[in-house]
């Protein structure tokens, strides 16, 4: 039955692409910042070493990266929670028609996952392109590291997907197991 | 899969509600939404629960369908006592025996009419071609063969409600519960919907319990159960 839940989730993700745009942009923003910070962190550290404050500036860069990652996680969580709230009535209908909860849970988790993946990928790709253009134009004085960009992109996509699934799992689980009458009345 | 042939009306009650109460706590006050309600509905009947807003008809309907549980009393569906079954067991019972029709249709906006009809069985290992054919047959049955691939937003209220009726029939249920099925429709469209429900009873032998406050809907029913202040009124 789970494969049918997955199929429904993919179908709804395709058909609801327009509704997913705003959450995807939110997640993309987080991913963009993560990639930019990681792409420039090596150059900043190198410059900091030249100034004799490598440790302090290194810590500051890590702090900025962690903060940006947290913002990305929160953005992913907000976006996915909003999506679940919008689908409350659908959950009520599925419950009222007696569809069992496990495939529905999976179906609903597909959308945050797809949103997070494509949102983060889009944000990371845009950041990589902009970082590359800045480096080529000589506008980034600290330099842009290719390995930092790649690591940032990987981390941004992974963190966004994991954050979206983890943060939407609990509200989705709760929503799926709520009595259908409450879901129908809540909307 | 094909649309089921008419079933002979039997004598065993499809629905048997015995001394059901539903009490809600509202602040310090106890609200009696349903008071000592008893009701039997036999196979093939079209029963209308009639009463003003707040009379308890939706509460009774929700209790019959297991969307809400009685504070006290028992409900039997097709001979099965539902008092001690879990939510998931009741969901399975609803899936097999009960079709739901809502006042506001509750179609899924991103699915086409035929996909909405398939919805209750979409998560199960049914042959997809047979499921699609059955959904098409049901949409033809309710006169919507020309709207198969339309999304709800592109259909009128009456068409949406008839799609919801077709959806309620996809699992071949013994019982259809319809909560104010014509409340959002104009009089003429409402008549078409009620006629469709009547046809389900006479042609397919499906049992229908509908709540309404519209006397013209009640006129079409084989039996009217009047409700007031949570109580079923004597005939």
Q: Read off the pLDDT of each residue in A68-91 and give the average, rounded to a whole number.
A: 77
In a domain, A171, yes or no: yes
In a domain, A186, yes or no: no
- B167-185 per-residue burial string, b: 16 or more CB within 10 A, e: under 16: bbbbbebbbbbbbbbbbbb
CB-based contact B88 A89, cutoff 8 Å: no
The partner residues of B98 in beta bridges, in order of sequence, read B175
**Residue B106 near chain A (CB below 8 Å):** yes
In a domain, A87, yes or no: yes
* B36 vs A134, higher pLDDT: B36
CB-based contact A96 B119, cutoff 8 Å: no
CA B163, B222, B20, B175 torsion-angle sign: negative
pLDDT tens-place string over residues A34-65:
888 888 877 777 777 777 777 777 777 778 77
Q: Which residue in chain A has the smallest CA separation from B164?
A: A93
Q: Which residues contact A9 (CB under 8 A, 6 or more apart)?
A: A106, A107, A108, A109, A110, A111
Whole-model pTM: value is 0.84
The whole-chain average pLDDT of chain A stands at 84
Give the gap in angstroms from C-alpha A166 to the nearest C-alpha of chain B.
Answer: 24
In a domain, A187, yes or no: no
Q: Which of A24-28, A153-157, B69-73, B219-223 has the lowest mean pLDDT?
A: A24-28
Q: What is the pLDDT of residue B11?
A: 65
Q: What is the pLDDT of residue B159?
A: 94
Structurally, chain B folds into a number of domains equal to 1
Instruction: Print the domain residue range for B216.
Output: 13-232
Q: Read off the pLDDT of each residue in A148-162 and give the average, rounded to a whole number.
A: 89
Q: What is the pLDDT of residue A44?
A: 76
Structurally, chain A folds into a number of domains equal to 1
Enumerate the residues of chain B whose CB falls inside 8 A of the CB of residue A4.
122-125
Instruction: Print the domain residue range for A45.
Output: 2-9+20-181
* B149 vs A144, higher pLDDT: B149
Q: Which residue in chain B has the smallest CA separation from A14?
A: B110
**Residue B85 near chain A (CB below 8 Å):** no
CB-based contact B110 A12, cutoff 8 Å: yes
CB-based contact B120 A5, cutoff 8 Å: no
% helix / strand / coil in chain B, to the nearest 5? Answer: 35, 25, 35
**Residue B94 near chain A (CB below 8 Å):** yes
**Residue B6 near chain A (CB below 8 Å):** no
ipTM of the complex: 0.83
How many Å apart are CA B116 and CA A176, to the nearest integer?
19
Enumerate the residues of chain A whose CB falls inside 8 A of the CB of residue B106.
89, 92-93, 96, 184
How many Å apart are CA B64 and CA B182, to the nearest integer?
20
How many Å apart are CA B130 and CA A72, to the nearest integer?
45
In a domain, B6, yes or no: no
Alpha-helix runs per DSSP H in chain B: 57-64, 87-97, 113-118, 128-141, 157-169, 187-204, 215-219
Enumerate the residues of chain B whose CB falls inside 8 A of the CB of residue A104.
123
Q: Which helix (H) or strand (E) holds B46?
A: strand B46-50
The radius of gyration computed from the CA coordinates of chain B, to the nearest angstrom, equals 17
Q: What is the pLDDT of residue A29?
A: 85
pLDDT tens string for chain B (235 positions)? 444 444 444 567 999 999 999 998 888 899 999 999 999 999 999 999 999 988 999 999 999 999 999 999 999 999 899 988 988 899 999 999 999 999 889 999 999 999 999 999 999 998 999 999 999 999 998 899 999 999 999 999 999 999 999 999 999 999 999 999 998 888 888 888 888 888 888 888 899 999 998 888 888 899 999 999 999 998 7
In a domain, A14, yes or no: no
B91, B108, B125 ranked by CB distance to A100: nearest: B91
Q: Which one, of A97, A118, A91, lies nearest residue A26 by Cα?
A: A118
User: Which stretches does DSSP call E strand in chain A?
Assistant: none
How many Å apart are CA A115 and CA B105, to the nearest integer?
29
**Residue B149 near chain A (CB below 8 Å):** no
In a domain, A15, yes or no: no
């Amino acid at each position: 039955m789970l494969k049918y839940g997955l199929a429904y989730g993919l179908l709804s993700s395709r058909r609801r692409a327009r509704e997913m745009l705003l959450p995807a942009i939110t997640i993309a923003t987080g991913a963009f910042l993560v990639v930019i910070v990681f792409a420039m962190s090596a150059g900043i550290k190198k410059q900091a070493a030249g100034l004799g404050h490598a440790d302090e500036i290194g810590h500051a860069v890590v702090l900025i990266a962690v903060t940006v990652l947290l913002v990305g996680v929160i953005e992913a969580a907000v976006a996915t929670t909003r999506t679940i709230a919008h689908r409350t009535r659908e959950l009520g209908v599925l419950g009222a028609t007696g569809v069992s909860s496990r495939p529905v849970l999976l179906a609903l988790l597909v959308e945050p996952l797809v949103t997070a993946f494509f949102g983060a990928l889009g944000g990371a790709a845009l950041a990589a392109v902009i970082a590359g253009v800045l480096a080529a134009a000589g506008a980034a004085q600290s330099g842009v590291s290719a390995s930092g960009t790649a690591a940032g992109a990987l981390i941004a996509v992974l963190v966004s997907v994991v954050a979206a699934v983890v943060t939407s799992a609990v509200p989705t689980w709760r929503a799926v197991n709520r009595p259908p009458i409450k879901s129908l009345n809540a909307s | 899969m094909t649309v089921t042939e008419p079933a002979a009306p039997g004598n065993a009650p499809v629905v048997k509600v015995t001394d059901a109460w539903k009490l809600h706590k509202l602040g310090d006050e106890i609200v009696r939404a349903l008071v000592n309600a008893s009701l039997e509905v036999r196979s093939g009947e079209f029963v209308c629960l009639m009463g003003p807003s707040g009379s308890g008809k939706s509460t009774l309907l929700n209790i019959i369908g297991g969307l809400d549980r009685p504070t006290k009393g028992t409900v039997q569906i097709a001979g099965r006592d539902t008092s001690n079954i879990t939510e998931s067991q009741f969901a399975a019972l609803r899936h097999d025996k009960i079709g739901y029709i809502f006042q506001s249709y509750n179609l899924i906006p991103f699915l086409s009419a035929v996909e909405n009809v398939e919805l209750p069985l979409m998560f199960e290992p049914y042959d997809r071609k047979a499921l699609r054919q059955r959904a098409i047959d049901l949409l033809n049955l309710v006169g919507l063969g020309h709207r198969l691939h339309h999304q709800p937003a592109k259909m009128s209220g009456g068409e949406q409600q008839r799609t919801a009726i077709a959806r309620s029939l996809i699992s071949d249920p013994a019982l259809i519960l319809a909560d104010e099925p014509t409340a959002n429709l104009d009089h003429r469209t409402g008549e078409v919907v009620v006629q469709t429900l009547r046809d389900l009873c006479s042609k397919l032998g499906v049992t229908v319990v509908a709540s309404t406050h519209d006397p013209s809907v009640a006129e079409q029913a084989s039996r009217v159960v009047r409700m007031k202040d949570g109580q079923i009124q004597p005939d």
